[in-house]
A and B are shown apart, each in its own frame.
Chain A
Amino acid sequence: MSRQWLKVHLVWLAFLAAGIILSSVPLFVPEGYRLRLLALVFMWVALSGCWNLMSGYTGYIDFGPVAYFGVGSYSTAILMLKGGVPFLPSIFLSGLICAVLSLAIGLPTLRLQGAYFAIATFAVAEALKQGILEGDRLIGLEFFGGAHGLTLPPPPSEAYFYYLMLFFMGLVVGLTALLEKSKFGYGLRAIREAEQAAELSGVPTLKIKIKAYVLSSSLIGCLGGVEAYWLTYIIPDDVFNVLRTIQMVIMTLLGGMGTVLGPVIGASFLTLVSEYLGAKFVYDYLIFVGAVIIVVILLLPRGIMGTLWQGQRWNR
């Protein structure tokens, strides 16, 4: 019992220490490429962490998370440009918009099983992209900017985004850690293991799936909003790009679905790889990613963290 206690405290202490170290980095590292790269890593950890919250824990593979990234980006951009809303409240509102949207989409689709849910979410993401692309033409307004996208006002310093991304990463990872051992977390995992048995044990499966989906989607939306301001311009092909979904999936898969640290490891590793490979040969990176997926599924289906945890036992 006492070993367990120490272990739990150790985790939070390590978490705090990491937070302090990472927060002080901008004091030592000058602005520029390296700071930006770190912030990028944080963003991907957060994004894949969100995907992990939903798909990693419930086992419902979502192939459409990029839809909320895109909606979040556009919401933030439009709120700031047309509504004059300051940045941080825009992020918050974008998150809310995504929450509502994901509720509308989740209610019908989460009743479907595995493959259907996966394709349905993918279809929704693609349809949304098409919608935004054609949106202006249909409504007859100058709203979405069509294929040219939108441009935002110049942002504050690099360090600002560094801290913002660090915050989101901490939020997502911390939330995952908290939820994992909570009643909600057990419900999620029960759904992944044996959904019908869970339902028969009293778990309100639909309600829980929706909660996880809405939570995950709103946070993804917020991150979309942050990136919009960071890059200062957004185009549909970029913010609705299926490649983002692929990244989230593979990062979580590699690191270990349904684990707290899985997305951290997977995202850190793959972001760095993609920076190296992707800068020169985008296709090579994707081939690499595809090969990694295949290898992981065949040899290490639980990902790195999952495989590490598998041998563990404890007595109660």
Chain B
Amino acid sequence: MTKGFGALTAVRNLSFSLQEGEILGLIGPNGSGKTTLFNVIAGVFRPDSGEVLYRGQSIVHCSPHEICQMGIAKTSQTIQPFSNMRVFENVLVAALYGKNLTMGKAREETARILKFMGLEGLGGEPAGKIPLPLRRRLELSRALATGARVLLLDEVMAGLNPTEIQESLEILKKVRNQGKTLIMVEHVMRAVMGISEQVIVLNHGEKIAEGKPAEVAGNPEVIQAYLGKRYA
């Protein structure tokens, strides 16, 4: 599909398909259109042309909350927690609305997810006050609590130190093993290349490479996109 903003075409003629249970890495230099792509899939933007099909059904005319309830959840690059609400409540909202549970069941589910993510001690803290790596885990917890089958992870590793990155990767592997499908936008190469089964590379809104991580890493066009002509 194609999506532009005024004179700028953020994503141009991009096509790809995703299998259930797959981990897809989405990389590319800044401004290559990755976040815009996520926003289109999640329903925040409508594409200028093209389609988004989820399990065979078109979702381009659905609003973000409908798409979430259908099973696609997105984290935000700029994390937006419900700052003045407790961590527990943050996840609770997702369980209540994304997964459509009753209050009792939603509370149980929230407790389960917080435990899974290692956040159970923090339930009572205001979400705005916890440190960055934990806020990222909160973002992920919210996405999980919606019951989504497909998770769009937008730079969840940004700002983390190597230990934290490793912990995150462990969690993501556990998540995938529960049957979820992941698309990861990342700049932290080691992370995304290590965990993805397929990788797509974007540059200036267009797909310039697609394949297994090892193939893509050696692709001269990809190297050129990141480092410039001299290194290709």
Query: From residue 80 to 101 of chain B, which have CB atoms closer than 8 A to chain A?
Result: 80-86, 88-89, 92-94, 96-100
Bound-complex Cα distance A314 to B125 (A): 8
Question: Which residue of B has the minimal Cβ distance to A205?
Answer: B65
> What is the size, in residues, of chain B's interface with A at 8 Å between Cβ atoms?
38
Cβ-defined partner of A193 (8 Å) among B66, B84, B142, B146? B84
Check A193 against B103 for contact (C-beta < 8 Å): no
* B76 beta carbon closer than 8 Å to chain A: yes
Check B82 against A315 for contact (C-beta < 8 Å): no
- Distance in angstroms from B65 CB to nearest chain A CB is 5
B residues near A202, Cβ cutoff 8 Å: 65, 68-69, 94, 97-100, 146
* A41 beta carbon closer than 8 Å to chain B: no
Check B81 against A194 for contact (C-beta < 8 Å): yes
Check B82 against A190 for contact (C-beta < 8 Å): yes
B residues near A313, Cβ cutoff 8 Å: 124-125
Query: From residue 202 to 258 of chain A, which have CB atoms closer than 8 A to chain B?
Result: 202-205
Beyond A193-B85, A196-B44, A316-B88, whether A201 also contacts B93 by CB under 8 A is: yes
Check A203 against B97 for contact (C-beta < 8 Å): yes
B residues near A182, Cβ cutoff 8 Å: 103
Check A186 against B89 for contact (C-beta < 8 Å): yes
A residues near B124, Cβ cutoff 8 Å: 313-316
Interface 1/0s, chain A 285-316, versus B by CB < 8 A?
Answer: 00000000000000000000000000001111
* B111 beta carbon closer than 8 Å to chain A: yes
* A183 beta carbon closer than 8 Å to chain B: yes
Bound-complex Cα distance A44 to B126 (A): 32
B residues near A194, Cβ cutoff 8 Å: 80-83
Check A196 against B111 for contact (C-beta < 8 Å): no
Question: Which residue of A has the minimal Cβ distance to B145?
Answer: A201
- Distance in angstroms from A35 CB to nearest chain B CB is 40
Question: Which residue of A has the minimal Cβ distance to B74?
Answer: A200
Bound-complex Cα distance A223 to B101 (A): 36
* B28 beta carbon closer than 8 Å to chain A: no
Interface 1/0s, chain B 94-117, versus A by CB < 8 A?
Answer: 101111100100100001000000
Bound-complex Cα distance A90 to B216 (A): 73
* B140 beta carbon closer than 8 Å to chain A: no
Query: From residue 179 to 199 of chain A, which have CB atoms closer than 8 A to chain B?
Result: 182-183, 186-187, 189-190, 193-194, 196-199
A residues near B23, Cβ cutoff 8 Å: none
Check B83 against A200 for contact (C-beta < 8 Å): no
Cβ-defined partner of A201 (8 Å) among B121, B123, B146? B146
Bound-complex Cα distance A203 to B98 (A): 7
- Distance in angstroms from B67 CB to nearest chain A CB is 9
Check B111 against A190 for contact (C-beta < 8 Å): no
* B73 beta carbon closer than 8 Å to chain A: yes
- Distance in angstroms from A186 CB to nearest chain B CB is 5
Check A203 against B65 for contact (C-beta < 8 Å): yes
Check A316 against B111 for contact (C-beta < 8 Å): yes
- Distance in angstroms from B43 CB to nearest chain A CB is 9
B residues near A314, Cβ cutoff 8 Å: 86, 124
A residues near B123, Cβ cutoff 8 Å: 315-316
A residues near B96, Cβ cutoff 8 Å: 183, 186-187
* B64 beta carbon closer than 8 Å to chain A: yes
- Distance in angstroms from B102 CB to nearest chain A CB is 8
B residues near A205, Cβ cutoff 8 Å: 65
Bound-complex Cα distance A201 to B92 (A): 10
- Distance in angstroms from B89 CB to nearest chain A CB is 7
* B222 beta carbon closer than 8 Å to chain A: no
Check A200 against B73 for contact (C-beta < 8 Å): yes
- Distance in angstroms from A183 CB to nearest chain B CB is 5
Of A202, A204, A205, A314, most B-chain CB atoms within 10 Å = A202
Bound-complex Cα distance A202 to B64 (A): 7
* B166 beta carbon closer than 8 Å to chain A: no
- Distance in angstroms from A257 CB to nearest chain B CB is 11
Question: Which residue of A has the minimal Cβ distance to B92?
Answer: A186
- Distance in angstroms from B138 CB to nearest chain A CB is 11
Check B68 against A190 for contact (C-beta < 8 Å): no
A residues near B68, Cβ cutoff 8 Å: 199-202
Check B93 against A187 for contact (C-beta < 8 Å): yes
Give the top 9 A-B pairs by smallest Cβ distance, nearest first.
Answer: A202-B98, A193-B82, A202-B97, A197-B80, A194-B80, A202-B68, A201-B94, A316-B123, A199-B64
Give A contacts to B, CB under 8 Å. Answer: 182-183, 186-187, 189-190, 193-194, 196-205, 313-316
**Could you write out 10 A-B pairs with CB less than 8 Å apart?**
A186-B96, A193-B84, A194-B80, A198-B82, A201-B68, A202-B98, A203-B97, A314-B86, A316-B88, A316-B111
